[in-house]
Amino acid sequence: MKAAHDRAIMSRYDFRKSGVKVVYAFMVACIVLISLSMLYPFVNTFLNSLKSTKEFFAFPAPFFPSKWLWGNYKESLTYLKIGMHFKNTIFIFAGNTFFSLTFLGLAAFSLSHLRVPFKKWVTLYFMSTLLIPSASYLIPNFLNLKELGVLNSYWAFWLPAGANAFFLLLLKNFFDGIHKELFESARIDGASEFRCFLNIAIPLSAPILITLILLGFASTWNDFYWSSLVMQEDKLPLAAAIYTKIIYPGSTINWNVRFAILSMTLLPPLVVFLFFQRYIIGGLSLGAVKG
């Protein structure tokens, strides 16, 4: 007996129509153009890193270098301590991940499955902070951290990470989807609320937790403005170090060497998102706001 297959959006019969073929070809062409436009900056950055200074400033500039100068990458290492700044970035990311997932996870679990007084108002309070532009509380955050004496330390990143309302929203909506009967059965067996959180909520929340970790990695890797405000040179993450030492208008480093540094720093996030993009899409869908 022939196995039944689910019908696709367009069947073979649909493709026999000339109008469908035209629309389908147009959609494919749009996808190809969008893909090329997104890939162009990455390819152009890499190729510019291999050009000579003369080729870089030539007009019209050649797309491919006549000679691939891999020495630009070796020269770039003399201008920036990539290893040190990469280590700073990893420390910041690790602390942000721990504080955000620990404190926001406990808060989201409490708002979802515990009897919290004025639960709806507390949730509304946290969610209303998403309506405030981040630039408006940049200076108050800086002044608060200055009063606490944590400037030029990793705590200047870790403490604000524990109050991320967007992560709280995603976690709470995911926890809302976990059946309360699971926790009630655990409580009957003598499990505490914290044990329910660790042994039931956390294992079932792997998709959204992976998503938040990846989003946190992207935020930490790309952040340069806040880092340049609260950190000094020896503790700057990679993005802030590149901005202050390489990209800043006063820099005298050759542009082909600058692009070599940018090409090296593009690689880690590119690899991460290529391998884990399905977790991001799936996690955001599972943690989406329910209608």
Map out the domains of the chain with their CATH numbers.
76-286 (1.10.3720.10)
Sign of CA pseudo-dihedral 28, 31, 37, 39? negative
Lookup: tokens for 199: 């042994």
| Lowest-confidence segment of 9-13, 113-117, 248-252 by average pLDDT | 9-13
Q: Does 1 score more than 50 pLDDT?
A: no
How wide is the angle at C-alpha 120 spanned by C-alphas 126 and 110, nearest 5°?
A: 75
Question: Cα–chain-centroid distance for residue 28?
Answer: 28
Q: What is residue 114's three-state secondary structure?
A: coil
Tens of pLDDT, residues 248-277: 766 778 888 888 888 888 888 888 877 777
Q: What is residue 194's three-state secondary structure?
A: helix
What is the rounded average pLDDT for all residues in the chain? 84
With bands split at pLDDT 50, 70 and 90, how would you rate the model's confidence at 290? very low
Alpha carbons 158 and 161: distance in angstroms, whole number: 5
CB 236 within 8 A of CB 244: yes
pLDDT above 90 covers what percent of the chain?
Answer: 14
CB 247 within 8 A of CB 257: no
Would residue 149 be called left, alpha or beta, if left means φ above 0 and alpha means ψ between -120 and 50 degrees?
A: left
Tens of pLDDT, residues 214-252: 888 988 988 888 888 888 878 889 888 888 888 776 677
What is the reported pLDDT for 77? Answer: 84
Q: Does 115 score more than 90 pLDDT?
A: no
User: Best-predicted range by mean pLDDT among 5-14, 100-109, 210-219?
Assistant: 100-109
Using alpha carbons, select from 41, 72, 30 the residue that is nearest to residue 256: 72
Taking residues 106-129, report their average pLDDT: 88
Q: Does 8 score more than 80 pLDDT?
A: no
Alpha carbons 266 and 259: distance in angstroms, whole number: 10
What is the reported pLDDT for 91? Answer: 93
Please name the amino acid found at residue 118: F
Tens of pLDDT, residues 168-184: 988 998 888 888 888 88
